[in-house]
Amino acid sequence: MTTQHLSQELASFASKLQAKDIPTDVMSRAEDLLVDWFGSAIAGKGSRPVEIITQFAQDMGGFTATHSGPSEILIARKNSSPFLAAMANAAASHVAEQDDVHNGSVFHPATVVFPPALACAQAIGASGEDLLVAAVAGYEVGIRVGEFLGRSHYKVFHTTGTAGTIAAAAAVGRLLKLNPSQMLNAFGSAGTQSAGLWEFLRDAADSKQLHTAHAASTGLMSAYIALAGFTGAQHILEGKQGLAAGMSSDADPSKLVDQLGSRWTLAETSFKYHASCRHTHPAADALLQVMLSHQLKPSDITSVETLVHQGAIDVLGPVTDPATVHQSKFSMGTVLALIAHYQFAGLQEFDQHFHDDAICLFRDRVTMTLDPEVDSAYPQRWIGKVKVYLNNGQVLEGRVDEPKGDPGNTLSRSEITDKAMRLAAFSGGANPAEMRHAIDVLWNIRKQAKIGLLLPNF
């Protein structure tokens, strides 16, 4: 009797995936996610932790003014090696908290898939279609690994950092045309280097950008060395001393190959509308619904009770008095205070107002309560429920079943373009003409015979 080899099955899928296997609407959604990611990557310009990692990448490159690498570091307008470009771009695209998220796996795919895929594609002269197929492979693998690792994993580990190494290896491995055996070796090397812990939130530390930088570059390295013959653990995911054994108490191996080739998890991925942790978005949308429908002002509100899933409490609970803009994006109270005052929690609102007296006063009147319905629906559905207590004694309730950006309440292509332009304008990472040109290239990526530079190189 033969035993099913799930890691091998997943690796074979990633290795053999062809454009003809992927539905047209999934390829189109991959383009949407690529443009959305590009905006987030440009938004990283000027962020201190991102600039530190980017400078490190440039310093480690060993390139001269007349001889640089083939892959683009977007916010630096410099070229470097694929490894270092993947590292820098992955750090940049995760800091604004505007990159995409897959609900069921609680995983941000774009920030660990597109940076290594783009870096490799530019280095080997891959086509736009090759890039998209590789991205689909990365999404399908990474999301399934995240679902496999389960809720217990996410309580301590940042899934984007852990599952992200495998996702990056799958995407780059597909571009390098790894055979199934080589792809499995790449998974083994990537998985043994998986890392990322939530403890950084308690200190407002910079680790979140390190998680994505490490996952993207490590996954890329794992694919390249597999091509050269380097071997990795054959059961890195489900083995007795593999990822799940060390990082999960509720892993479900069946999730690794769930409807592989027929259920396209990339199409389930959500865009982020507010510039904050996704756990805050359902409640933010529910509060906005109540305020608009009842024409409320912040001064009308005594307190807000958010009814949430346990994951929100685990991640957001430690952040009670945020010290930095980035930490404030993990404060439920701060996000709802910005919503109450500005009807939007965007980059400018956080940057200019997260520590205003009025925002802090409102923040401290927001609580989180575990709700059985919301918790049982999570992570497949992220329901937003709030109770809004008014000065006149009234209690108003709000509910949102699909936050803005979810597949059933998604962003249009014009909204995605506007979002990317807005992110670039905030960071100054590219001017409007440069952004329009790059976005036009990305919307037409399937026509590109060879991926070139997206931004002028100075």
Structure token pair of residue 382:
């992220």
Beta-carbon neighbour count of residue 410 at 10 Å? 16
Q: What value does the mean pLDDT take over residues 273-286?
A: 97
Q: Which letter, b or e, does each residue of 76-91 get, where b requires 16 or more Cβ atoms within 10 Å of its Cβ?
A: bbbbbbbbbbbbbbbb
Convert the pLDDT of each residue in 435-448 to its tens digit: 999 999 999 999 99
Convert the pLDDT of each residue in 288-305 to its tens digit: 999 999 999 999 999 999
Q: Which residues pair with 397 in a beta bridge?
A: 387
Q: Is 172's pLDDT higher than 90?
A: yes
Q: Is 406's pLDDT higher than 70?
A: yes
Structure token pair of residue 177:
């045309």
Q: Is 453's pLDDT higher than 80?
A: yes
Structure token pair of residue 227:
């091509």
Least confidently predicted of 57-66, 69-78, 109-118 = 57-66
Q: pLDDT-based confidence at 3, cuts 50/70/90?
A: low
DSSP 390-425: ETTS-EEEEEESS-TTSGGG---HHHHHHHHHHHHH
Q: pLDDT-based confidence at 2, cuts 50/70/90?
A: very low
DSSP 105-167: TTB--HHHHHHHHHHHHHHHT--HHHHHHHHHHHHHHHHHHHHHHHHHHHHHB-HHHHHHHHH
What's the one-letter identity of residue 121? A
d(CA 287, CA 337): 10
Q: What value does the mean pLDDT take over residues 192-211?
A: 96
Please name which of 408, 367, 136, 384 lies closest in space to residue 278, comparing C-alpha atoms.
Answer: 384
d(CA 158, CA 247): 11
Q: pLDDT-based confidence at 4, cuts 50/70/90?
A: confident
Cis preceding linkage at 379, omega within 30 = yes
Dihedral sign, CA of 325, 326, 330, 335?
positive
Q: What value does the mean pLDDT take over residues 191-207?
A: 96
Please report the pLDDT score of residue 457 as a whole number.
82
Structure token pair of residue 168:
């990056």
Q: Is 63's pLDDT higher than 80?
A: no
Convert the pLDDT of each residue in 322-337 to its tens digit: 999 999 999 999 999 9
What's the one-letter identity of residue 190? A
Q: What value does the mean pLDDT take over residues 202-210?
A: 95
Beta-carbon neighbour count of residue 324 at 10 Å? 14
Give the position of tokens 């608009």. 292
Please name which of 106, 111, 107 lies closest in space to residue 42, comparing C-alpha atoms.
Answer: 111
d(CA 344, CA 292): 12
Q: Which residue has the higher pLDDT, 61 or 27?
A: 27
Q: Which letter, b or e, does each residue of 240-253 get, where b requires 16 or more Cβ atoms within 10 Å of its Cβ?
A: eebbbeebbeebee
Convert the pLDDT of each residue in 237-269 to its tens digit: 999 999 999 999 999 999 999 999 999 999 999
Backbone angles phi, psi at 113, to 5 degrees: -100, -55
Q: pLDDT-based confidence at 1, cuts 50/70/90?
A: very low
Please name which of 61, 164, 175 lies closest in space to residue 121, comparing C-alpha atoms.
Answer: 175
Angle separating helix axes 24-43 and 128-156, nearest 10 degrees: 70
Q: What is the mean pLDDT of the chain?
A: 96
CB-based contact 71:86 (threshold 8 Å): yes
User: pTM for this one?
Assistant: 0.95
Convert the pLDDT of each residue in 330-360 to its tens digit: 999 999 999 999 999 999 999 999 999 999 9
DSSP 306-362: EEE-HHHHHHHTT-SS--SHHHHTT-HHHHHHHHHHHS---HHHHHHHTT-HHHHHH
Give the position of tokens 């329901």. 383
Rg (CA), the chain: 21
Q: What value does the mean pLDDT take over residues 43-61?
A: 96
Please report the pLDDT score of residue 62 as a whole number.
75
Please report the pLDDT score of residue 157 as a whole number.
97
Angle separating helix axes 413-427 and 432-443, nearest 10 degrees: 140
Task: Output DSSP code: residue 449.
Answer: S
Structure token pair of residue 135:
């991205």
Q: What value does the mean pLDDT take over residues 367-396?
A: 97
